[in-house]
Amino acid sequence: MQYISTRGGGEPLSFGETLIEGLARDGGLAVPAVMPQVGRATLDRWRALTYPQLATEVLSLFATDIPREDLARMTAAAYASFPSEVVPLRPIGDGLTLVGLSEGPTLAFKDIAMQFLGQVLEYALERTGSVLNVLGATSGDTGSAAEHALRGKDRISVFMLSPHGRMSAFQRAQMFSLDDANVHNIAIDGVFDDCQNLVKQLAGDLEFKRAQHLGAVNSINLARITAQVVYYFWAWLRATDAIGPTEVSFTVPSGNFGNILSGFYAKRMGLPVRRLVLATNENNVLDEFFRTGVYRPRTAAETHATSSPSMDISKASNLERFIFELVDRDAARVVTAWSELESQGHSDFSAEQPRFADEFGLVSGTSTHADRIETIRRVHAEAGEIIDPHTADGVKVAREHVEPGVPMLVLETAKPEKFADTIREALGVEPEYSPELRAMLDAPQHVTELPDDADALRAFIADASLGGGTVKTTPVGADRHES
């Protein structure tokens, strides 16, 4: 299997090369040169597999340059700390079933892919004898999942950008309480899109990227997308155990379009999926795109701070991979569309909009804070489940797209403990924390504050990267944030 860029530049790369490269050298995103296909006989054979075994099978279709026995070892290690089922399914009534993706170490769906990514990155670096300085951006859960997967690894340092003051207290604690020498938390004066733009700007600076051995763990890294494909197959297999092979629909809370893109890839591979329902919060740029065909990202000032903060994103980097398929893999059209986006502030695909639902099965909807509160209350009253606000966005929009005879699976995004304020408002209860989580919340926090400035970020990374100097951070609240 070879990987090409959505913008047509550069030579095809292997999975391992793509893994280390992150953003393609021409500024595009890596995609499979040919989408692997899975037939009904293969699905039947996979039904009896455990989650790590299924992960080995699915990932072997993408990582053809990695021996199967090595993949099997890495998937077993990646999910060893999860419950035996790894991804449980839980019915909540009205034809909806939650796909439990929050059983990992940081209580969020990002752990599923990130734990594998930590294994395979270390494997690739050991094979080549190289090091990697990971540069990422997070709106909440990617950062902690990446840091917990990569902390303490000798060949990897992590530089994680987050929007200052825009995450929940729990999300900040999960990241900033880590004091591993290879983990660097950086709070940017801006919103998530500013953080993401900085990542892309430095990744596009090829001289700096090569000199500092920069890589990515955001969903721009294709390994994240392929690892997430696995749980779509798993959920379909579990949901159809009793009823036999049939189409199902998935609803996915989405900000950066990575999670639902994995579902789109699963459908393109042959998984029987009827609808992929995208749920947004008040930052509903993607909902507007799928309803109208016009993609119009908002400015930082126009990006709302909401009670589902991990989705407070107005420029979805993974949308480019979908656009690549929409324009029949015409890289020149992708480049033109993105040039128009830069010059005009929008890209117009309204002529192709009917294909979104008819050909690709993609539909969408928006949820508000009031919707989240009402949905959390309703699910708790009817099913006895407490769901987090992002999952509530998904449940609310899923109810609008339920079809008779078609199971609707809603992808859970995180445990409710991570969003105590919203749970308290909705249900009047305090989340219960284990002694370990309480200690984390009470621990000193370490973070460096930087302006939204690429040169300042370059200087920080050059000084703190593997092979460079050493930068230490002081606890939050101290007079200086860098020393």
The residues annotated as belonging to the active site are 110
How far is residue 309's CA from residue 387's CA, in Å, rounded to a whole number? Answer: 15
Q: Do residues 251 and 99 make contact, with C-beta atoms less than 8 angstroms apart?
A: no
Q: Do residues 354 and 269 make contact, with C-beta atoms less than 8 angstroms apart?
A: no
Read off the tokens for 167.
Answer: 């995450």
Q: How many CA atoms lie within 13 A of 91 on its CB side?
A: 6
Q: Do residues 141 and 171 make contact, with C-beta atoms less than 8 angstroms apart?
A: yes
Residue 301 CB coordination number (10 Å): 6
Q: Is 481 exposed, middle or buried (0-12, 13-18, 19+ CB in 10 A)?
A: middle
Q: Tell which residue, 167, 318, 320, has the closest CA to residue 254.
A: 318
How far is residue 392's CA from residue 254's CA, in Å, rounded to a whole number? Answer: 12
Q: Map residue 159 onto helix, strand or coil.
A: strand
* Rg of the Cα atoms in the chain: 21
How far is residue 113's CA from residue 79's CA, in Å, rounded to a whole number? Answer: 10
How far is residue 149's CA from residue 147's CA, in Å, rounded to a whole number? Answer: 5
Contacts of 124 (CB under 8 A, 6+ apart): 16, 19, 20
Residue 35 CB coordination number (10 Å): 14
Read off the tokens for 232.
Answer: 């779509």
Q: Map residue 381 onto helix, strand or coil.
A: helix
How far is residue 310's CA from residue 222's CA, in Å, rounded to a whole number? Answer: 20
- What is the CA 389 to chain-centroid distance, rounded? 17
Read off the tokens for 39.
Answer: 């037939």
Q: Do residues 161 and 184 make contact, with C-beta atoms less than 8 angstroms apart?
A: no
Beta strand ranges found along 386-472 (DSSP E): 408-411, 448-450
Q: Specify whether the backbone of 40 is left (phi greater than 0), alpha (psi in -120 to 50) or beta.
A: alpha
How far is residue 470's CA from residue 463's CA, in Å, rounded to a whole number? Answer: 6
What is the residue type of 400? E
